[in-house]
Structures are given as C-alpha cells and as structure tokens.
Amino acid sequence: MELFTPEFGLVFWMFVAFLCLYVILAKWAWPFIIKSMEERADLIDKGVAYAQEAKSHLDNAKAEADKLIAQARNEQAEILREASKMRNELIENARGEAAVEAKKVSEAAQVSLEQSRKEAEKKLRAEVGDLALQIAEKVIRRNIASDDAQRALVDQYLSEVEAKN
C-alpha cells in the first residue's frame, strides 16, 4: 500500500523543513515570546497586588484624613475660644487703663482747679485790699462823720464786692 510506505523524498524534506523551522523559531521567536508572556503575567499579578494595596492605603488614608479633619476642627474651636478670651482680656485691660488714665486726668484737673482757685483767691484778696484801701481813701476824703456810719459803709461795700464775685 502506497499510503503506508513513507516516501524517502518527503521524509527528507520534512526533516529539513522541520529543522529549519525549529532552528529559526527556537533561536528568534519562542524564548522571546515565552519570556514576554511570563513577564506580562508577572506584571499583571504585581499590578493587581499593587492595586489592592493601593486601595487599602486609600481606605486608610480616608480614615486618617477624617481623623485629621476632626482634629483640625477641635484645634480651630480651641483657637477661636482662646482668641475670644484674649480679646475680652484685652478689652478689660484697656478699660481698666482708660479708667486709671481718666482718674489721673480728672485729678490733675482738680489740682489745677484748686490752684487757680487759690490764685483767684489771692488775686481777690489783693483786689479786696486795694478796694478797701480805695474805700478807706474815699471815707477819709469825705471827713468821716461817724464811726458807725463808716463801718456800715465798709460793710456795704464788702457785701457789694462779694455779691459781684
């Protein structure tokens, strides 16, 4: 049977063709393809692991961020409270200082008032003296008739002066 007897020529060429194919592919193709596929498989595995890790990191980060935000809120409230306290203190202090200052100012005003009053009194006294002297002069000039009359007159003049002041 022709079908079951291998033909020499075909065996020969099959051998040649297969060897050529094998040499070419084994040298330039298969190792590279296998290496590339395995590298990619590794890369994908690593990528999945990395993504899972990243996801867990992300979840953690969210919790952490929430914690940070809460902390920041607390701090903010704290700072605001501090600030308002400080403001009140400042206002209190300012008020106190202002009162002291005002007191000082009014005291000084009183002192100067007293002084000016004293000066005015001095002046008055001098003027009263002068006046008395003038009155006396006038009295003397009118030849004084009676002592009583003269005294009444002096009193009258003094009252007049006092009323004027």
Q: Does residue 49 touch another protein according to CB under 8 A?
A: no
**CA–CA distance, 57 with 2 (Å, rounded to integer):** 72
Closest separation in Å from C-beta 56 to another protein:
25
Q: Does residue 50 touch another protein according to CB under 8 A?
A: no
- Give the footprint of another protein on residues 8-47 (CB under 8 A): 8-15, 17-18, 20-22, 24-26, 28-34, 36-37, 39-40, 43
Contact between 153 and 139 under an 8 Å Cβ cutoff? The reply is yes
Contact between 150 and 139 under an 8 Å Cβ cutoff? The reply is yes
Q: What is the largest CA-CA distance in the chain?
A: 197
- Give the footprint of another protein on residues 106-145 (CB under 8 A): none
Closest separation in Å from C-beta 52 to another protein:
20
DSSP 8-state symbol, 142: T
By beta-carbon proximity to another protein, the closer residue of 8 and 143 is 8
Structure tokens of 69?
């935000």
Exposure string of 146-165, with b = 16+ CB inside 10 Å and e = fewer, is eeeebeebeeebeeeeeeee
By beta-carbon proximity to another protein, the closer residue of 12 and 79 is 12
By beta-carbon proximity to another protein, the closer residue of 26 and 99 is 26
Binding site for another protein (CB under 8 A): 2-15, 17-18, 20-22, 24-26, 28-34, 36-37, 39-40, 43
